[in-house]
Every structure is written in C-alpha cells, then in structure tokens.
Chains A and B, each alone.
Chain A
Amino acid sequence: MSDHHPYVSKAASLLSEGRATRREFLRTVTLLGTAAATAYAMADKIIPQARAQEAQPTFKPGGEVKLGMRVDDVTKPFQVDSAQKSNIIRQTLDNLTRTGADNITRPNLVSKWDVSEDLKTWTLKLRNDVTFRSGRRFTADDVVWNLKFALDDANGSSSIGLFKSYMLNEEKAGDKKKVTLWDANAIEKVDDFTVRLNLKAPQLAVPEHLFHTALPMMDPESNGNFGVGANGTGAFEVVEFQPRNRIVYKARTNHWDRKPALETFAFYDLGDNASTAIAALASKQIDGLYEADASQVDVLSKFPGLKYYEIATSTTGVIRGKCNIKPFDDPRVRKALRLATDADAILQLSLRGRGKVGEHHHVAPVNPEYAPLPPMKRDLAEAKRLLAAAGYSSGLDLELSVPADYEYLVNMAQGVTSQWAEANIRVKLKVLPGAQYWEVWDKVPFGVTRWSHRPLAIMQLALAYRTGTPWNESSYSNPELDELLSKAEATVDIEQRRLIMKDIELLMQDDGPIVQPIWKSNYTYLRSDIGGFQMHPSGYIFGEELGLV
C-alpha cells in the first residue's frame, strides 16, 4: 500500500471496524488516486462479500437506439445546466473523469491522478492514446485551455461555483465582481500528458468536480461552441441536431478506446405531454425514456417488452425564496415554511412514495457524508410563532412559481400550499411551462427548482448555497456555511467530515433558504432487448455502453 495516499490505510481500518461503509471506503480511496479495481479488491478482502460478477452483455453489432428526452438547443457546452442538456453533449464530448452509477469516480481521459498529502496538489496523468474525431491527439494543452475557459467568468460556466473556493480569487471590477485564477500557475502543464492543479485550499472532490456537466473537454478551435460535426473525443459524432425535435449521433469508426456497439443513437423530443411518450413507446417509435414520471410508470408497467430501472438518488425539488428580498430575508420566515411542512405526506402525494423523505438541508441519505439527524417534524404552533416574531402575525401572501414539466414538482407545490394554509401562509401557484420556467429559474422571487443528483453533498451545497456562486438561486449568503463547507471539502477523514456535515445540516434546517420535503428516486423504462443500460442517479446516459442483445 506504499504508493497510496496515507489516508488509504486509515480508511481500510475504519471499514474493517465498521465505522465506514463499503461505499464510503470505495469512494474515498478512489478519489485519493487508488484505481477502482484495486479499491474494490481491497474492500472485498476486508469485508468478503459475494459481489455479483458484472456480466458483460454480448451485443449484436450495429443497430439503433432512440430515447425520448427534451432536446434543448445547446450551443455552449460550458453553460449546460441540466442532465438532459448534458446528455446531448455527452455522446460527443468527454470529461476527464467519469462518475458511474455506483457513485464511484473513475479515470476517463486521464489514466490516473495523484494527490499530495495536504490535498492541495493534484497531478493528472492523461491517457496518451486519446484522439479527437479529427484525428488530432488530445494533450495537456487541451486540458489547460478547457479548464481556463470554464473558469473564465466571461464564459458563464457553473464550474466556477465548484472551483471557486480552491482555484479562484474574487475581485471587484467596477460595480461587478470578477473571478480570476488565484495563481498564474494554478493550472500547470507539466509535460504533454501531465497537468497539475495547484490549489489555494485543500479539496478532496477534485476528480468528481472534473466530471461536472459544464466541464467537458472541447477542441480549443471550437471556441466553446457545439453543433453538428462538433469535434470531440467521445464515441459518437452529431449528424443531425434539430432543437425541440431530435439529435442523432453516428458511432465514430476511429475511436481511440471504445467503439460503440450501436451504429446510431438518438434523443427524440416529443414535447411535455406524458401520453405522447407512452404512445411512442407502444408503437416502438422510441426505445425508452430518459426518465419516466410516476403517472407514466403506472401505464408502462403493463406494457410487454419493457424493462424497469430504478435507483435511489439525491435528485430533489426545493422550494426557495430569494434571501435578499422580503419576506425571505428573515430566517424566521424561512424556518416557519419548513415547520409548516409535513414531508411524509408530500412524499406520498408527489411521488407516490417512490423516494425518501427530505430533511430540508439538501444532504441526501445516498451521499456518503450524510449525517443522520432526528426528523424535522411539522410544528404549526412554532411556525406561527416564528411568523409573528418576524412581523407577519396575520400570515403571509406569496406567489410560488412552478415548472409544469415535472409533474411531481407541481404536486409537491400544491401539497405544501395546502399545508401552509393552515399556518396562515397563503400561496398562489404560478405554474409555468418548462421551457419558460427554466429560462428564469434562478431569478423568480419564490420558486420550485429541481436539483439533479450529485454524488457528494459538498458538491451540491457548493453549487447552490455558497456565497456568490452562479447557481446560488436563493442568493443565500452565510459566512458560517461557507466556512463549514470549505472545511468539509478539505477533510479526508470520513468520520471527521460527517461531524462537519452534521453542523451544516443543522445550520440549513435552522437558517437555510430551502424547504425540501422529498428525495426522488430515478426510474425509467427501456425496451428489454437493449443491454448495457444502468440507471444513473444523475440521469446521465452513455450511448456507447448500450447495445442490442
């Protein structure tokens, strides 16, 4: 074990003593640079378990798979802000790393990474056989260009939220703030196939951040633009792209590693109408859905020739107000909204129980750093008392914006609205079509947002609640949370980190900007003769893993 990071031995002890779960162990030691295969072998040695041999399905060569999914216009991959949009670019553009359906992050365009003991120097060794579709070799220069492009705030990438605490400085430029790399050498090319990230603060989740949806590796000549013929390192080439209609990919014949079994892969947009997708599946016009909703599951479960997939996730819907405007600027109002909510009832109402009860802190039971807390029970009397103390003794009148394209979010909003009425919080629902809502999701004064799964809670919290980050939709700013987050990001020790997370969770429940009653499982249906599909908790789809059996 001499080549491993010093904490790997400690993690092994925690696993053997039962103080860390197998999944925590795997996730932590792989992040610290241990190869996934080695990590699995170590875990199996410590806790012998019959691990199902992952049978590699034998695919028929060629064929076509079409999945139903919203096909938005994506021209700027570094500004991708949804799992659907990321699926559009993912078939053509790769990330340096890849987080699998098991929440374990593995090398992808890098062959391995090494991290210093203080978690401040990350050395990325690139594979030397990666080529773009044009035939040009993928090198360290490409990595440096992409990272710098994503971290330039002129390019509007949400990657800034993830990297801000350890790679960037924020300065005032006129009446606006500007972020710059904290050091000229922060992203350093060591040789043609080695890049070093020199961090200003320790960070454990670098490999997971490198798999961020808005951080694909592009050809610098593209200048960050995407479309038909985009030159990527991925297994497919875009041959047809009609936003709101379809995107069609053809398999690359000259791929450096993984020639897909499929010849053609495509996403079809059938609109927001749930019955259209069901009918299209029935007549085999599409072969599966990116994601099914609860009402579709009831019908599709009766269809022959389809296979059901489900996975627990940290996907959720949060209800949040803008903390810089009334009445949400008062933490007592925010807490009153949480206390007036019966999360168990909302889970049944919105998801028919297909998920878990939320605890209003956006740290999911599937996140490895989750610290269990006593349930936050509904307390109407306390909610009314807090409202009165905040100066709203006669209650509140609010307007809540909800996206119509997620039925469970509309149901959730309707549910909490009727529950809040009992605490004199009168809410008018404003249900907006998805296409309209997601244009303004981070600007509405009081809205419902779907947050996709993230393997680590610290990633999620850094994106949505750290002061001043682009996706901080609630404009929440709490130095205490920022500090705790930075501390958690720098802590390798599983037990130590869980203690910090406990403080974060309590702080969110007491002061945070959100009401978060549910965790949604992801589920879908695909034709049963499609092999290789794994329901990813983030909703990510890898066309090259699919094939016809």
Chain B
Amino acid sequence: MNPTVRLATRVGSALATMLVASFLVFVLLEYSSTNVSAKILGPYSSESSRQMLSEKLGLNDPLLVRYLRWIGVVVGLREDPVVTSGLIGSPVVDARYFGNFGYSQLYKKPVVEVVLPALENTALLATVAFFGIALLGMLIGIVCGAYEGSAIDRSLSLVASVAASVPEYASAVILMFVFVVTYQVLPGASNLDTTSGWSVSSQLILPAAVLIIYDFGYVARTVRTSMTNVMRSPYIKAAILKGLSFRRVVFVHALKNAMVTPFTVILLQIGWLVSGVVVTEVVFGYPGFGRVLLEASLSGDIALVEACTLISLVVVILTQVASDVGYMVLNPEMRARA
C-alpha cells in the first residue's frame, strides 16, 4: 500500500474513533435530559423547574439530534443554548466559537478558559517527566538487555520493578519528607507561584520525579526485552565474531532495531502523562489538567468532564497515530511492504 494512502487510512480511522468515542461520552453523561438540567440547577431542584429547563434547552429531543447540536456548538457552528437562554447571567460570555465546550458550573467561566491553562501546565510537567521516563527507561533497558543475566541486569531490573510498584502518593510523601522537610532543598507545593522564591523548574522536580519513578520501570522492561531479542539475533553474533567492540555492536548495530517496539510504548506514555496524573497533581497542589478533571468529576460539572474526556481521547488517539507512523518509518519490514 502506498504510504500516503496508508497514512490517510490511519488518520481517517483515528477521526472515526474520535467521533464514536465522543458520541459514547455524550451518551454516558447526557443520556437523561433531567440529569443534565439537574446538574445545572442543582441536585435538589424541583422536578418542574428541571422540566422547564429541559424544554428551554431542547433536552427532550432525540439523543442523536442533541448530539449533533452539541458537536455543532463544539466546532462553532451553533450558539450554545445555555448562554443564549440567559442561564449564566453575568459575566457575559460568547455563545459561538470553535472549541466551545460550554460553561463550567464549578469555575463559573467558559470551559475552554479553565482547561487551556491547566493543559499548558500539564504539558510542561508531562514534557519533563516524558524525557525523564524515556531516557532513564531506555538507559536501564539497554544496559540490562546488553548484559542479559548479569548481576547488573538483575540489580537494575529489581530496582525498576520495585519503583514501578510504589504508588504515586507513597513516593510523593517519601520524597517530600526527604527533600522538603528534612533537607529543605525543594519546594513542597508545586502551585507554580514563584513569589516565594522557588523557581518553576524547582517546583517541577518532585512531581516529575514521582511520575518518572512510577513509569520508567515499564519502559525499561520493554526496552530490555526488545534489546535481549536483538542481541540474540544472528547478525549481532556475526558482528561480535567479526571482532567489533561490544560498545559498537550495541550502539551502532543493535540499538536501532531494538528501539522499534519500545518506540510505540514510549510514545503511548504521553496519553497517560496528560490525563492519568491526577494523584500527583493533587498531592503537590499542581494546577494541571488532572486536578481539573478530578474536581469536575467530583462536583458533577458535565461540560467540564466532557471537555476533559474528549481532550484526553484526542491526545491518546494522536499519540497512537504518531506511534503507528513512527513504527512504519522505523521498521524496515513495514517500509519494504510499503
């Protein structure tokens, strides 16, 4: 298959997945029209006022009609009925724009104004953690794979397994006790406020460390397995028999092929780093996407939960597409088939 066609097919299927997933999210949260009006008016509002609101917002229409209307609002083709019905009152907000996920009842402002700054913050933390996880995971995986069965392999594999099995809240408290309370070299809260003298980068260290500790073992094990397989292959043995230095065999001949499978695994960590870091963000008071998602879920802020879920989906699907494309580029077999 032509690479362009193959890519177009992959992107097309990603779009279809997003559409189906968005429909499922909508159905899960908005299946019952009275549930929606109850969330807007509060759980103890009267049945009659819920009915009145449902009529006003067209919540009694068929599900598919409501879904299409909602998509229309999200992409900016339609005005948000919650805004035009005057339910929000002041402050006045725009009713129609791209990315209009509605109005957050919890934060009392448009969802996009809540989510975007939080996403930016999470992207910052995720970037630091991602490089930490990838570098540490690869380094340990390569060393263990290259020296399979050695004492260093066994020791590092044990460290990676232990680290991966410590829950984030536990490692967070241990790190806080050591670096914040005992040695006082790092800040305890990572609220990204710099007026207390702690730089943003210093505030990123502990939450990033917690994420790295929790996740690098998984990457290391994948790299190790892949590396071990490559190191056993005939061309590597041939290279060693030819008298090439072990270091050259590992870094020049083995590494490129050994990284094909882990590449996908490493990229897929991005999805987890964006939407799965709730515990770390809460423990450190980090103003990120995970904390917003948690607060939105706990307080039943439907518009915010929908937006957060969809954004998480988009990130996961995009990283899957990227890892597929990367896999195609890196894997000689796939290139040959193309």
Interface residues in chain A, defined as those with a beta carbon under 8 Å from any beta carbon in chain B: 64, 66, 73, 75, 225, 243-246, 268, 270-271, 273, 275-286, 433, 435-436, 439-440, 443-444
Beyond A243-B107, A443-B43, A443-B44, whether A435 also contacts B295 by CB under 8 A is: yes
* Assembled-state Cα–Cα distance A276/B280 (Å): 11
Docked-complex contact B44 and A436, CB < 8 angstroms? no
Set of chain A residues within 8 Å of B291, measured between Cβ atoms: 271
Besides A280-B188, A439-B42, A444-B44, 14 more A-B contacts (Cβ < 8 Å) are: A66-B195, A270-B189, A270-B191, A271-B291, A276-B189, A278-B188, A279-B181, A279-B188, A279-B189, A282-B181, A283-B180, A283-B184, A285-B198, A443-B42
Q: When each residue 269-308 of chain B gets 1 if its CB lies under 8 Å from chain A and 0 otherwise, what string results?
A: 0000000000000111101000100010011100000000
Q: Are B107 and A273 in contact (CB under 8 A)?
A: no
Instruction: Specify which chain B residues have a CB less than 8 angstroms from the CB of A439 in the assembled complex.
Output: 42, 299
Q: What's the nearest-Cβ distance from chain A to residue B329, in Å?
A: 42
* B299→A279 contact, CB < 8 A: no
Closest to B281 in A: A271
Which single member of B90, B283, B295 contacts A244 (CB below 8 Å)? B295
Instruction: Name the prevailing secondary structure of the A interface residues.
Output: loop
Question: By the criterion CB–CB under 8 Å, are A282 and B188 in contact?
Answer: yes
B137 at interface by CB-CB < 8 Å:
no
User: Which chain B residues lie closer than 8 Å to A66 at the CB level?
Assistant: 195-196
B193 contacts A268, C-beta separation under 8 Å? yes
Q: Is residue B248 contacting chain A, with contact meaning CB distance below 8 A?
A: no
Cβ of B43 and Cβ of A280 under 8 Å apart?
no
- Which residue of A has the minimal Cβ distance to B89? A75
Q: A276-B188, A435-B298, A440-B44 are contacts. A244–B193 as well, Cβ < 8 Å?
A: no
B106 within 8 A of A: yes
* Least CB separation from B292: chain A residue: A244
**Complex contact A283–B187 (CB within 8 A):** yes
A and B contact pairs by CB, cutoff 8 A, 27 listed: A66-B195, A73-B107, A75-B108, A243-B107, A243-B108, A244-B107, A244-B295, A246-B193, A270-B189, A271-B282, A273-B285, A276-B188, A277-B189, A279-B176, A280-B188, A280-B191, A282-B180, A282-B181, A282-B184, A283-B180, A283-B188, A283-B189, A284-B197, A433-B295, A435-B299, A439-B299, A440-B42
Cross-interface CB contact of B285 among A270, A284, A436, A443, cutoff 8 Å: A270
* A residues less than 8 Å from B285 (CB atoms): 270-271, 273, 276, 280
B268 an interface residue at 8 Å Cβ cutoff? no
CB B190 to nearest CB in A, in angstroms, measures 9
- Bound complex: CA A66 to CA B189 (Å): 13
A512 to B107, CA, bound (A): 37
CA distance A16 to B159 in the complex (A): 76
Binding site for A on B (CB under 8 A): 42-44, 90, 106-108, 173, 176, 180-181, 184, 186-189, 191, 193, 195-198, 282-285, 287, 291, 295, 298-300
Q: How far is the CA of A276 from the CA of B191 in the complex (A)?
A: 10
Query: Bound state CA distance, A153 and B173, in angstroms?
Result: 48
Q: Across the interface, which residues of A come within 8 angstroms of B108, CB to CB?
A: 73, 75, 243
In whole angstroms, how far apart are the Cα atoms of A26 and B77 in the complex? Answer: 67
Contact of B283 among A75, A275, A282, A443 (CB under 8 A): A275
Which residues of A sit under 8 angstroms from B187, Cβ to Cβ?
Answer: 279-280, 283, 285
Nearest to A432 among chain B residues (CB) is B298
Interface-centre pick from B108, B282, B298 (highest chain A CB count, 10 A):
B298
* Residues of A with C-beta under 8 A to B181: 279, 282
A455 to B124: give the CA distance in the assembly, Å. Answer: 48
Closest chain B residue to A264 by CB distance? B195
Q: How long is the Cα–Cα vector from A270 to B176 in the complex, in angstroms?
A: 15
Q: Chain B residues with Cβ under 8 A from A73's Cβ?
A: 107-108
- The 9 A-B pairs of least Cβ separation, nearest first, read A279-B188, A280-B189, A443-B44, A270-B285, A283-B187, A433-B298, A285-B196, A283-B188, A276-B285
Closest partner residue, chain B, to A270 (CB atom) = B285
Distance A17 CA – B206 CA, assembled complex (angstroms): 64
Q: Within the complex, what minimum Cβ distance (angstroms) separates A437 from chain B?
A: 10
A443 to B45, CA, bound (A): 9
- B299 to A225, Cβ gap below 8 A? no
Knowing A279-B180, A283-B189, say if A64 contacts B195 (CB, 8 Å). yes
Query: Quick check: A436 and B300 within 8 Å, CB to CB?
Result: yes
State in angstroms the CA–CA spacing of A283 and B42 once bound together.
39
CA of A245 to CA of B285 in the docked complex: distance in angstroms? 9
- CB-CB under 8 A from B173, the residues of chain A are 275
